Structure 1
Amino acid sequence: MFYQFPEDFYWGGASSALQTEGSDSSRGKTIFDVFYNLAPNRFFDGVGPNKLADFYHRYKEDISLYKAVGHNSHRTSISWARLIPDGDGDVDQEAVVYYHEVIDEFKRQGVTLIMNLMHFDMPAALQAKGGFENREVVDAYVRYAKICFELFGDKVKLWATFNEPIVTPEGGYLYDFHYPNVVDFKRAVQVSYNMIIAHAAAVKVFHQVVDGGEICTILNITPIYPRSDNPKDVAAARIADLIFVRSFLDPVLLGQWNAELVEFLGEHDLLPVGLPEDKQLIAANRVDFIGLNYYQPRRVKAKEHVPHPESVLLPESFFDYYEMQGRRMNTSRGWEIYPKAIYDMLMTIKNEYGNVKCYIAENGMGIQQEDQFRGADGVIDDTYRIAFYKEHLRYVHQAISEGVNCFGYHIWTPIDNWSMINAYKNRYGVIEFNPQTGERKLKRSGSWFKELVDANGFDD
């Protein structure tokens, strides 16, 4: 069967300034520079954010490689700390020139650009003031967004406010895998709240500044499945859904907080502090489209044991995770492979959120030690990645055939890149990157992706 996709479908990939540009002297420090200086042992092989693929100097070559694997579109980000080194002061003119050159190169090579304002990389100077716990930092973000729109909005018409904003409270304020390494549910809720305010305010400014553009945010609204239809399992899954899905999805698409979530937070003394005008701000500034990242499902069951009253309150105080019997795993990454979830995620957008325009903003497979799959011709034979894409694209195709307003599919990521904490442990690219030599080289999946785009579909 041939899976044909709609005309003008966006095929491409996603990357970020934080993970590709490089830590040269022209950039201000981010929270990951601070984290690495404090705890280099927490980064895989001790490789920190100063050992990247140097997109800053090699962007022309890398964009050419994106084209070589068929990409007609790409999402990347501006580094807030490069453009405004202290986060809220003077604009660095060298950075302005650089981003104009990058944007112009994407256009010259015929790649439609979706520009993201923030991909986890809070400027260190603003984190020192409390990061998104501090309402003044929200104001600094909105100022930064306005500067970006004024500088580049005549050239870039598709924007995103954040990539996976929930990762900031999860990593930095719940689960201790990002700086500032806080474990405090209430503070995490406050950070989430303030990021939603920052998002809505940026959407408002965008439509005041950019003529004829559209703006989104990129959410990883991982589908959540209960172990069984037992009411207690279903209730546990609902709590997880409220926390990890509806917390951001409802405000950005419906323009309001989820009432069940507000009730739940109130019952557990977790409600954030806001301003009276916040509700109207969110209601009046919904996104034009939504980006959706998908990697793995969450599977949830009712608690097996009552939490100790002196234990730290976390989302998992209200549910347990479970491992479905017979599940398929990407053993390199430790993630379940469940392609149907991408269909379920898209159908949620159609059935519960007005079928707003959407695209798959990230989908991919991270594998360790890919060199073991190198063929006699020197090319990494990552047929497992091709199979992964096909499985997920079949479900994307099904969702589109059933009326979902999905206009694109982006992989994470075109070129192997550095990842926060995991460094180069797991490789996601269709283009191999050698951190020792800087060499880039197509994998088997890169050639296949070009064929996919040329045909606007695939045979399977």
Structure 2
Amino acid sequence: MNYDFPDNFWWGTATSATQSEGHKSGDGKGENIWDYASHHFNQRFHNGVTADDTSTFYQNYREDIQLAKNIGLNSFRTSISWSRLIPDGDGEINPQAVDFYNSVINELHDQGIEPFINLYHFDMPMALQEKGGFENREVVDAFARYAEICFDLFGDRVRYWFTFNEPLIPAEAGYLHPRHYPYVTNFRRAAQVLHHIVLAHCKAVAAWRRMNLPGKIGIIMDVIPVYPRSDSPEDLHAAEMADLFYTRSINEPILLGRYPDELIALLKEHDQLPQSLPGDCELIASTKIDLLGINYYRPRRVKARETLLEEPHGFVPERFFEEYIMPGRRMNTSRGIEIYPAALYDIAMVVKERYGNLPWFVSENGIGISDEEQFMVNGQVQDDYRIEFLQEHLSYLHKAMADGSNCLGYQMWTFIDCWSWQNAYKNRYGFYRLDLETQQRSLKKSGLWFRSVIENNGFERA
């Protein structure tokens, strides 16, 4: 079967500043929470690899962008490092960072690649984290200032802006299920962080609109469909609760302009509501985005609770549901997560039916595999598993578009193997292999396949 995509479809890749840039002595960059945590909580990081040792994009951006051009990418998503641009988060601008990001943006344009620029990808400046990070309402205003500085410096050449990548994650992973610094487990604090992130997003969008810049502004989010174990009332309720806490809690204020009534009632009942100020709800209601990016890696499957849940740190959403391990599910054993391409179709239908068929694109999708060296033949990784993964997901995306989904593009995670938060380089995701010893980049078989897809604006699959 032929899978043909529209003209001007965005074919690209995604990465982030912290995961790709690395450090260079004298670059003026301030410390962020990953720089701090990877040194002070080094045992949490795979093989102790710190955020210093990422993929050297800071030094090699020209050559790397040429590699992007070599496989035909027409779009490239990355982020600006808040702590590189404003080392203490709310003070002086680092001129070396301005030069760097100007050069990156200009080089992308020179190579015919559209820059998609994200403002926040989990990397709070440490100076602001010491003031409470997004728990502190002052940091909301610091973010709005940072956003306005970015728009002023780069907005004449960046047409696609995104305020946050997966805005639920800093709240959930930093303050509820402690995988990110500051490694807190406290639901009310997590809820406060999430509310302030929503406000920070709204204020950044307002700043962009005031400046009357060309282009579009949006956000990168998860819109994960939740699958219940069965159609029993108990399992269906469990799925509704998982969806309420981990999807609707952030998607509805951003995409519909209000928090779900059921969530507000539930948090009141359990004394978990965050603090808000007069005008917050009006600001949220008045904020609209132009473009939605969606990251998808795995489905969420749940069932009614069957085991006693201990809550040593107080309230957690999992009191209402638990994970369902579906028999026969297909797994990526490197990461321990399910592979379920059909969910991409379901996500597209959720956007169409629940969120007004907003223009959107796949902003991340990919497969991380460990020990890819075992698949090397004559110096090239023969990653047929990645080609199969892409074919399957793109096939379901194609079906969704045929059924009316307003999808504009697909960006894979990632371009060159990059450092992943706590896993460092355990699992590899890139079209280009990174040799950690030499920093040499080499094209994998999947990169050749993707180049063919871009050249043909589609692919054939039996």
What interval of TM-score do these two structures reach, taking the shorter chain for normalisation? over 0.9
CA distance in 2, matches of 1:210, 1:448: 40
Q: What SS does the aligned partner of 1:117 have?
A: strand
- In the TM superposition, 1:208-219 aligns within 5 A as 208-219=210-221
Return closer, same or farther for 1:133/1:311 CA change in 2, 3 Å cut-off.
closer
Per-residue deviation at 1:23?
A: 2.0
Given candidates 65, 68, 75, the residue that maps to 1:66 is 68
Cα displacement string for residues 406-455 of structure 1 (whole angstroms, at most 9, x for unaligned residues):
00000000110001110000000011001111000000000000000000
**TM-score normalized by structure 2?**
0.98
CA shift for structure 1 position 310: 5.4
Q: Which residue of 1 aligns with 2:160?
A: 158
Superposed displacement of residue 307, structure 1: 3.2
Describe the superposition over 1:26-51 as per-residue Cα deviations: whole angstroms up to 9, x where unpaired.
21000011112221111100101011
Moved more, 304-313 or 397-406: 304-313
Letter in 1 for 2:388: A
Give the match for residue 386 of structure 2: 385
* Worse overlay, 308-317 or 349-358: 308-317
Which stretch shifts more, 247-256 or 225-234? 247-256
Whether the 8 Å CA contact 1:221–1:244 is kept in 2: the answer is no
Q: Which moved more, 1:324-333 or 1:23-32?
A: 23-32
Cα deviation for residue 309 of structure 1 reads 6.8
Q: 2:272 aligns with which of 262, 270, 273?
A: 270
Deviations 1:176-228 (A, max 9, x none): 11100100011101100100000011111111114222111100222211111
The question of whether the paired residues in 1 share the 8 Å contact of 2:185 and 2:313 is answered with no
The one-letter amino acid paired with 2:240 is R
Aligned to 1:421: 422
Gaps of 5+ in 1: none
Distance apart, 1:305 and its partner CA:
3.0
- Given the superposition, is the C-alpha separation of residues 379 and 88 from structure 1 closer, same or farther in structure 2, using an over 3 Å criterion? same
Opposite residue 9 of structure 1, the aligned amino acid is F
**Secondary structure class of the residue paired with 2:357:** coil
Contact residue 328 and residue 338 of structure 1 kept, 8 A: yes
TM-score by length of 1: 0.98
CA distance in 2, matches of 1:260, 1:404: 28
Q: Distance in 1 between matches of 2:131 and 2:421?
A: 22
User: Over aligned residues, Cα RMSD in angstroms?
Assistant: 1.0
1:138-190 alpha-carbon deviations (Å, 9 max, x no partner): 01000000000011101111100001111101211011111001000111011
> What is the SS of the residue equivalent to 1:228?
coil
Q: State the number of aligned residues.
A: 459
Q: What SS is found at the alignment partner of 1:202?
A: helix
Give runs of aligned pairs for residues 251-290 of structure 1, distance below 5 A.
Answer: 251-290=253-292
Q: Is 1:100 aligned with 2:102?
A: yes
Rounded Cα–Cα distance in structure 1 between residues aligned with 2:168 and 2:279 = 23
Task: Give me the whole-angstrom Cα distance separating, in 2, the residues matched to 1:74 and 1:388.
Answer: 20
Cα distance in 1 for partners of 2:147, 2:171 equals: 20
CA–CA separation in structure 1 for the residues paired with 2:279 and 2:396 = 41
CA distance in 1, matches of 2:20, 2:214: 29
Are 2:19 and 1:19 aligned? yes
Aligned counterpart, 1:134: 136
Supply the AA of the counterpart residue of 2:408: F
In structure 2, the partner of 1:401 is 402
Please show how residues 425-444 of structure 1 align to structure 2 within 5 Å: 425-444=426-445
Which amino acid counterpart does residue 354 of structure 2 have in structure 1? Answer: E
CA contact (8 A) 1:52 1:435 kept: no
Listed as ranges, the matches of 1:221-236 within 5 Å are: 221-236=223-238
CA shift for structure 1 position 317? 1.8
**Aligned mates of 2:238, 2:330 — CA distance in 1:** 23
Q: For 1:64 and 1:308, how far apart are their aligned partners in 2?
A: 52
What is the deviation of 1:72? 0.5
Asked whether the 8 Å contact 1:22–1:49 carries over to 2, the reply is: yes
Residue of structure 1 equivalent to 2:455 = 454
Which secondary structure does the structure 1 equivalent of 2:370 belong to?
A: coil
In structure 2, the partner of 1:248 is: 250
Preserved contact between residue 156 and residue 214 of structure 2 (Cα < 8 Å)? no
Asked if the contact 1:44/1:422 (under 8 Å) is kept, the reply is yes
The more displaced of 22-31 and 432-441 is: 22-31
* Distance apart, 1:313 and its partner CA: 2.2
Contact 1:75 1:116 in 2 (8 A): yes
Answer yes or no: is 1:2 the counterpart of 2:2: yes
Deviations 1:219-240, CA, capped at 9 Å, x for gaps: 0222211111111111111111
